Structure formats: structure tokens, C-alpha cells
Amino acid sequence: MDQHITERLRMNDLHTHIVSADEAASWIQDGMTIGLSGFTRAGDAKAVPTSLIERAKTETFKINVFTGASLGFDLDKLMAEAGIIHKRLPFQADSSMRKKINDGSLYFVDQHLSHTAELIRSKVLDPIDYAIIEAVAITEEGLIIPTTSVGNSSIFIEKAKNVIIELNLTQPAELEGLHDIYSPNEQGERGPIMLTSIEERIGEIGIRVDLAKIKGIVITQSLDSPSTIVPPDEETAQMAAHLINFLREEVKAGRLTNELAPLQSGIGSVANAVLHGLIHSEFENLEVYSEVLQDAVFDLFDHGKIRFASACSITLSEKKMNEVYANLEMYRDKLILRPQEISNHPELIRRFGLLSINTALEADIYGNINSTHVSGTKMMNGIGGSGDFARNARTAIFVTKSTAKNGIISSIVPFASHVDHTEHDVDILVTEQGYADLRGLAPRERALVIIHNCAHPMYKDQLLQYFEEASLRGGQTPHMLEKAFSWHTRLADQGTMLEKQLSPSL
């Protein structure tokens, strides 16, 4: 046995379980439900799904695919294109899969990322036939050590009928010891989750498994696909500046100190860029309690800004991944990776009092947020953990550029074409124009602050006109339903949300 393997596969009894990816993939049958490790490209099972996709070239089958969140390695793309998915949950972020979701070829169940484990525990979702989980090691006692994400891997292993481990020899061995695997019992039979600070440990360093369920171990050697984060630009720098101004006002008002409160930041370039802006602020000794740690968190570490970070995945660009992996020892005692039902648990988010920063696709004048649906119908990625955080945070912050596609789309609209977060859950809205502090305001007050502080100048009058005309009809939340979506229909018909843009008289 290869020494590299024996160092990673330390439970000797399991050496006989090593199989090829093709063989493991051959066990997955039409109609089955599989649970894959992987959260925002990090720590995904890579080899068996790839073999499964290969199998689809000569065989027709459909399966349900559950994950932590989005997968890397083009797996969502290739599975969608191979047509092997019947149902996918709880999150994805791939353009081909998006296309298949929106043309109706596969069902996508868009879930709060903390909910999936509960639905599995309570036997609401289809039973999982195979959990396919990437590991960096299996210990002497048979603990499965995850790699760069925990996601739903622990609940998949706990509840699946069968388990396949992808033992990844290339993921850094130093990941071992980083995880804290804690499994709450079923709802109604559980106690408090005894975390009182973000760096505490309440679980084990790996996932405990009924060894009889391990059907195969596949040896793999690929790193995660790097993230393709867009670097900060002028507008995201402005958004970061507005966010910092807001935080300064909070400190002045005695609501926060310069250590702020644990930060959460959603996936994606905008949230990453905004967080990145804290590097050159006066805030320090920061804590991060989030679902995903992107480049910005490690940049903040490198600038001595962060005291500790807890999450359920690490998703980095290629450059940052090389840097971080080369110095993993440096970060190890400042990092914990937890299951997503813990990283995203309402109990903990509320207790810690997070400052949560998530991205909006569009916001309406009352501060209802659309995070997912382009023009109310086409799925972009999914709600992810944004609802887990926004509902329970100390301060729920949403960020979006005020316009999209060179201004033909206003991100601030009269009526959100899809609502993922209601006005009750949206405290602060930030665009490159400014920020709106909506806390304690009634809808009619919210509208004015949002329009004045956040809307792009070219859309302000148009928004004010809608609001004022609607207000004449009265209501807690004034609207003219016959015109509520006129901005979206104008975009579809005339190619812009701007009024009279195409009128010959202009």
C-alpha cells in the first residue's frame, strides 16, 4: 500500500474498501438520492460524480442530488447537461444548471441552508441512498476528516444508507484538526447548542460513521476548483466605504465598539469586495461567523484584522489558495469549520448578534429583497444562507449596485419581482450611492430613505413619482398594483426600465 495512502487512511480494516471511482459510480441506480459533500465549490466529492456523468453517455438514469451548497469541478454543469438530475437541492450556482432549472428540465428546491439537515432528520426529504463525501483522512478510530468544507456532510453520513468516501491525497493534511463536528439531536429531543463564543469547540474533529455503511473508498488527487471572484471595482469600493461609514455611526451611537460584532458575509464578488474594504478601516480584532470564508477573510487575517473565523467552507481564488495552503499552520488556530446547520443556526446567529452582509439582486422601495429570481421568474443561484442570517442577525445588511447592465436595470424597483427577504428582515441597504438605515421605520419612511440614499440618480424621480402617486391611494405600503411591475415589463418590452427612454419626443 502506498505510504501516502496509509498516512491518510489510518484505519487498516478499511484498506480493502478501496475501489475505483467507476466502480463506486456503478452502484448509483436510477431513482436514487445521493448526498454529495461540497459547499460553494469547496470540498466537493469529485471523482464519483465525474464517473457517474461519464456513465450517462451510455445509460439513461435520473437521480436526486443533495449537497451542502454549490459544487465546483463543473459538476453541476456536467450533471445538468448529462440530464441525470431529477431534483437538486439546496443551492447551485452554475449557468448550465440554471438553464435546465429555468427551462423546466429539472426540479430545484431552493432552501435556507440551515433547513436541509432538519428536513433530513425529520424524514421529510427522500432517504439518502449514498452519501459521497470527500475526506482528507480517515483516523485510526474511523473518524472521517472532511476537507475544505463540512456543509451537510455530517448529516449525510449520519442518515445515508451507504457511504462512499473520496479520500483526497492532494488536499493538505493540515486540514485535520480544523473541523468541529457537532450533531444536534432531532428537533424536540435536543438541548441548547452550548457555544457561547465563536472559537469554542463542542464536537469532534471528524465525522463519526457506522463503519458497516462504508461501501467504498476512492482515492483522488485534485484540489478544489478555485473561485472566480471578481476583484473590487470602483463601485464596490464605494459600497465598502458606505458600509464603513454606517459602522462608524454605530460605534458613535454606542451600539458597537471598534471590534464590531461577528461578521457574516455571503458568497460572491460583491460581498467579498465589501468585506475587503475593512482592511483599511480602524476596526480590528474582528470575528467572522459565516458560512463561507472567501479571499477577503484571509486578506483581513493577513492584515492582522481578524481574531478568529468560524464557517462551514473555505472558497478561494487560485492565488489565495496557494498562499493559504502554503501557510495553513499560520491560520489553523484561528479557524474552525462546522456543519452548515451550526454555522447557519438561528440559535447561534441570534445569540452572537451578527452583522450579516448579503447580496441582493433587487430591492423594492420598501426594502423587500429579491436575492434569487431575475425578473421574478428565472432562478439565478438560490437563497443560500441569506435568510438564516438576515432574520436572526443583530443587523441585516444587504448590498447591491444601484443599477445593472449599464443602467438599463434599476436594482431599486417599485415592487420586488420576487421576495426572498421581507421588509421585516432588512435593516440596512447599501448601494454605491449610499446606505439606508431602515431600522424602526414604517414602510412610508423606508421608501423615502431608500430612494434618496440608495437609488441611482437617473431612477430617483421615477421612483419618487411611483411612490407619491401610490401614496395618494393610501395604505401602510402604498402601491398601484396595475403598475407595480411596469418597470420589469418595460425592460422586457423596451429594453430598459427607464421611462420614455425610447420616446421620440426626447
* Residue stretches of the annotated binding site for CoA: 266-270, 381, 385, 405
Q: State yes or no: residue 191 binds a second copy (CB under 8 A).
A: yes
Catalytic residue among 250, 291, 423, 432: 291
Cell of 17: 474498501
**Considering beta carbons, is residue 265 or 417 the nearer one to a second copy?**
417
Q: In the bound complex, what is the minimum distance in angstroms from residue 422's beta carbon to a second copy?
A: 6
**Considering beta carbons, is residue 49 or 414 the nearer one to a second copy?**
414
What's the 3-state SS for 114-180? Answer: CHHHHHHHCCCCCCCCEEEEEEEEECCCCCEEECCECECHHHHHHHCCEEEEEEECCCCHHHCCCEC
Is residue 412 within 8 A of residue 434, CB to CB? The reply is no
**Considering beta carbons, is residue 248 or 332 the nearer one to a second copy?**
248
What is the distance between the alpha carbons of residues 174 and 325, in angstroms, rounded to a whole number? 9
Residue 371 DSSP SS3? coil
Q: State yes or no: residue 129 binds a second copy (CB under 8 A).
A: no
**Considering beta carbons, is residue 172 or 353 the nearer one to a second copy?**
353
Q: In the bound complex, what is the minimum distance in angstroms from residue 21's beta carbon to a second copy?
A: 29
Whole-angstrom CA distances from 447 to 331, 391, 409, 498 are 44, 20, 19, 19
What is the distance between the alpha carbons of residues 212 and 277, in angstroms, rounded to a whole number? 49
Q: In the bound complex, what is the minimum distance in angstroms from residue 257's beta carbon to a second copy?
A: 10
Q: In the bound complex, what is the minimum distance in angstroms from residue 189's beta carbon to a second copy?
A: 8
Dihedral through CA 438, CA 397, CA 113, CA 236, nearest 10?
140
Q: In the bound complex, what is the minimum distance in angstroms from residue 250's beta carbon to a second copy?
A: 9
Taking Cα atoms as reference points, which of 424, 408, 427, 411 lies closest to residue 490? 408
Site for a second copy in 237-266 (CB under 8 A): 253-255, 261-262
**Considering beta carbons, is residue 64 or 238 the nearer one to a second copy?**
64
Site for a second copy in 45-74 (CB under 8 A): none
Q: In the bound complex, what is the minimum distance in angstroms from residue 267's beta carbon to a second copy?
A: 17
Beta-bridge partner residues of 234: none
Q: In the bound complex, what is the minimum distance in angstroms from residue 126's beta carbon to a second copy?
A: 7
Site string for a second copy, 286-325 (x = CB under 8 A): ----------------------------------------
Per-residue burial over 428-448, b = 16 or more CB atoms within 10 Å of its CB, e = otherwise = bbbbbbbbbbbeebebbebbb
Site for a second copy in 458-487 (CB under 8 A): 470-471, 473-479, 481-482, 484-485
**Considering beta carbons, is residue 17 or 98 the nearer one to a second copy?**
98
Dihedral through CA 80, CA 82, CA 86, CA 90, nearest 10?
-30
Q: Is 166 a catalytic residue?
A: no
Q: Which residues are within 8 A (CB) of 384 and not within 5 positions of it... i.e. 6 or more apart?
A: 69, 91, 113, 266, 267, 291, 371
Q: Which stretch binds a second copy (CB under 8 A): 119-127, 144-152, 175-183, 237-245?
A: 119-127
Site string for a second copy, 410-449 (x = CB under 8 A): -------xxxxxx-x--------------xxxx-xx----
Q: Which stretch binds a second copy (CB under 8 A): 19-27, 75-83, 105-113, 274-282?
A: 105-113
**Interface size with a second copy, residues (CB under 8 A):** 83
Q: State yes or no: residue 457 binds a second copy (CB under 8 A).
A: no
Is residue 296 within 8 A of residue 389, CB to CB? The reply is no
Cis peptide before 192 (omega within 30 of 0): no
Whole-angstrom CA distances from 415 to 189, 376, 386 are 42, 10, 20
Residue 374 DSSP SS3? strand
Q: State yes or no: residue 103 binds a second copy (CB under 8 A).
A: yes
What is the distance between the alpha carbons of residues 182 and 35, in angstroms, rounded to a whole number? 18
Is residue 68 within 8 A of residue 150, CB to CB? The reply is yes
What is the distance between the alpha carbons of residues 45 and 393, in angstroms, rounded to a whole number? 32
**Considering beta carbons, is residue 440 or 457 the nearer one to a second copy?**
440
Taking Cα atoms as reference points, which of 388, 7, 328 lies closest to residue 148? 328
Site for a second copy in 193-232 (CB under 8 A): 193-194, 196
Q: In the bound complex, what is the minimum distance in angstroms from residue 84's beta carbon to a second copy?
A: 17
Q: State yes or no: residue 81 binds a second copy (CB under 8 A).
A: no
**Considering beta carbons, is residue 151 or 385 the nearer one to a second copy?**
385
Annotated binding site: 266-270, 381, 385, 405
Site for a second copy in 326-355 (CB under 8 A): 345-347, 350-353
Site string for a second copy, 354-393 (x = CB under 8 A): --------------x---xx-xxxxx---x---x---xx-
**Considering beta carbons, is residue 142 or 353 the nearer one to a second copy?**
353
From its phi and psi, is residue 285 left (phi > 0), alpha (psi between -120 and 50) or beta?
Answer: left
Residue 401, classified by CB atoms within 10 Å of its CB into exposed (0-12), middle (13-18) or buried (19+), is buried
Taking Cα atoms as reference points, which of 240, 285, 297, 237 lies closest to residue 261? 285
Q: In the bound complex, what is the minimum distance in angstroms from residue 467's beta carbon to a second copy?
A: 12
**Among all residues, which ones are annotated catalytic?**
291
